[in-house]
Structure 1
Amino acid sequence: MPVVVVSDSSSRLHPDELARWDIRQVPLHVLIDGEDLRDGCDEIPFDVHARPKVTTAGATPADLADVYRQALADSGGDGVVAVHISAALSSTYSAAVMAAREFGPAVRVVNSRSAAMGVGLIALEAARSARAGDGLDDVEAAARAAVRHTHVFLVVHRLDNLRRSGRIRTTASWLGTALSLKPLLRLDIDGRLVLDQRIRTVTKAHAAMVARVVEVVGERSAEVVVHHVDNHDDADKLGAALTQRLPQLSSLTVADMGPLLSIHVGAGAVGVALRVEAP
Structure 2
Amino acid sequence: MTDSTCDLSAERTAALGVTVVPLTVFFGEEAFLDGIDMGDDAFYERLRHSDTLPRTSQPSVAQFKGAYERLARESTDIVSIHLSSRMSGTINSASIAREDIPAGVHLDIIDSYNTSVGLGAVVVEAAEAAQRGASRSDVVDVARKAVDRVHLYAAVDTLEYLRRGGRIGRASSLLGSLLSIKPIVHMEGGELAPLERVRTRARAQDRLFELATADQTISRLYIAAAADAAAAEALAGRVRPRLPHTEITVGSVGPIVGVHVGPGTVGIVTVARA
Shared fold (TM-score, shorter chain, > 0.5): yes
**1:85 corresponds to:** 83
SS of 1:109's equivalent in the other structure is strand
Question: What is the match of residue 228 of structure 1?
Answer: 225
Q: 1:85 deviation in Å?
A: 1.0
Counterpart CA distance in 2 for 1:16 and 1:173 is 38
SS in 2 for 1:246: coil
Structure 2, unaligned runs of 5 or more: none
TM-score for both structures, normalised by structure 1: 0.90
Q: In the alignment, which residue of structure 2 is the partner of 1:187? A: 187
Alignment correspondent of 1:158: 158
Contact 2:9-2:251 at 8 Å conserved across structures: no
CA distance in 2, matches of 1:221, 1:67: 34
- 1:243-263: per-residue Cα shift (whole Å, max 9, x none)? 1222221x1122111122111
Deviation at 1:171, TM superposition (A): 8.9
- Using the TM superposition, name which of 163-172 and 205-214 deviates more: 163-172
Equivalence for 2:37? 42
Which residue identity lines up with residue 32 of structure 1 in the other structure?
Answer: F
Alignment partner, residue 58 of structure 2: 58
Amino acid paired to 1:231:
D
Could you say which residue in structure 1 is the equivalent of 2:240? 243
Alignment of 1:193-272 (within 5 A): 193-215=192-214, 218-249=215-246, 251-272=247-268
CA distance in 2 between counterparts of 1:100 and 1:246 reads: 41
Partners in 2 of 1:181 and 1:168 — Cα distance? 16
Q: Which runs of structure 2 are paired with 1:104-119 in the superposition (5 Å)?
A: 106-119=106-119
Native 8 Å contact 1:88 1:113 kept in 2: yes
Distance 1:27 1:177, change over 3 A: same
Q: 1:138 to 1:169 in 2, by over 3 A?
A: closer
In 2, Cα distance between equivalents of 1:277 and 1:184: 24
What displacement does 1:225 show?
A: 1.6
TM-superposed CA distance for 1:81, in Å, is: 0.3
Amino acid at match of 1:116: S
Q: 1:10 aligns with which of 5, 12, 16?
A: 5
Give the TM-score normalised by the residue count of structure 2.
Answer: 0.91
What is the CA RMSD across the aligned residues, in angstroms?
A: 1.8
SS of corresponding position for 2:134: coil
Number of equivalent positions: 267
Moved more, 237-246 or 47-56: 47-56
Distance in 1 (alpha carbons) for counterparts of 2:53 and 2:119: 27
Quick one: structure 1 residues 37 and 202, their matched pair in 2 at CA, closer, same or farther if it must change by over 3 Å?
Answer: same
